[in-house]
Structure 1
Amino acid sequence: MTRIVGINIPNNQHIIIGLTAIYGIGRSRAKKICEVTKISTTKKIKDLNDNELEKLREEISKFIIEGDLRREFSMNIKRLIDLSCYRGIRHRKSLPCRGQRTRTNARTRKGPRRAAQSLRK
């Protein structure tokens, strides 16, 4: 396994697929990284030499990835919650934030159904 930015990437994967294991790098960004470093996208991770790996690490370090990106996302959500704007309130209540209906759907966000409470006298 090759280690890039603290992430173990399996040796038998193509470069584009292997780079997507890093949080913040998808297929399109992986292709751009390969174009800039002039590494063939059909090569596998195990076929890279040390020079090519160093080029990849150098190019990847230009982007915000992994912990920094996760921290930025959570800080953005925390800011919305602190502002008490509509989206922040929806985040606080663990409801969908982007206008989806909640009457019948949204089970993923709301969690499992609770049994109906019967009226007691």
Structure 2
Amino acid sequence: MARIAGVNIPTNKRVTIALRYIHGIGPAKAAEICEKAGITPERRVNELSDSEVLQIRETIDSDYMVEGDLRRDVAVNIKRLMDQGCYRGLRHRRGLPVRGQRTHTNARTRKGPAKPIAGKKK
């Protein structure tokens, strides 16, 4: 099992798919990493040599912000918005949708399970 950026990536999957298990790498970046490292995207992870895995690891470390650094950066950005007291920061603070979605109905992912209102009977 190859370990890249602190994540055990699955061995039986194609390289482009396996790289997506790393937080901060999606389809486009996975293809770009394979291209920079000179690895065909159709190859499986278990077919890669140690030097190729090392090359992928070095490419990711030098060119991309992934895993802990990315999570920390996002958390700092959210905290900055909350400290400023701007609209987006207030929405984060209250646990409501930030990007303009409706909250009259839906928004249960951000708001949590529905709370019953006392005395509301039909």
TM-score (normalised: structure 2) = 0.94
Determine the C-alpha separation between the residues in 2 that align with 1:97 and 1:4: 33
Alignment of 1:8-47 (within 5 A): 8-47=8-47
Determine the C-alpha separation between the residues in 2 that align with 1:70 and 1:93: 20
Deviation at 1:105? 1.5
Alignment of 1:67-86 (within 5 A): 67-86=68-87
Task: Report percent identity of matched pairs.
Answer: 50
Aligned length in residues:
119
Determine the C-alpha separation between the residues in 2 that align with 1:4 and 1:98: 33
Deviations 1:3-42 (A, max 9, x none): 1121101110100000001111111101001111110101
Deviation at 1:2? 1.1
CA RMSD of aligned residues (A): 1.1
Partner of 1:93: 94
CA contact (8 A) 2:37 2:55 kept: yes
CA contact (8 A) 2:2 2:53 kept: no
Deviation at 1:118? 3.0
Q: Segments of 4+ in structure 1 off by > 6 A? A: none
Deviations 1:101-120 (A, max 9, x none): 1111211111111111239x
Partner of 1:52: 52
Give secondary structure in 2 for the equivalent of 1:61: helix
CA contact (8 A) 2:97 2:107 kept: yes
Which residue identity lines up with residue 84 of structure 2 in the other structure?
L
Deviation at 1:81? 0.4
2:113 paired with 1:109: no
**5+ long unaligned stretches in structure 2:** none
Determine the C-alpha separation between the residues in 1 that align with 2:37 and 2:3: 18
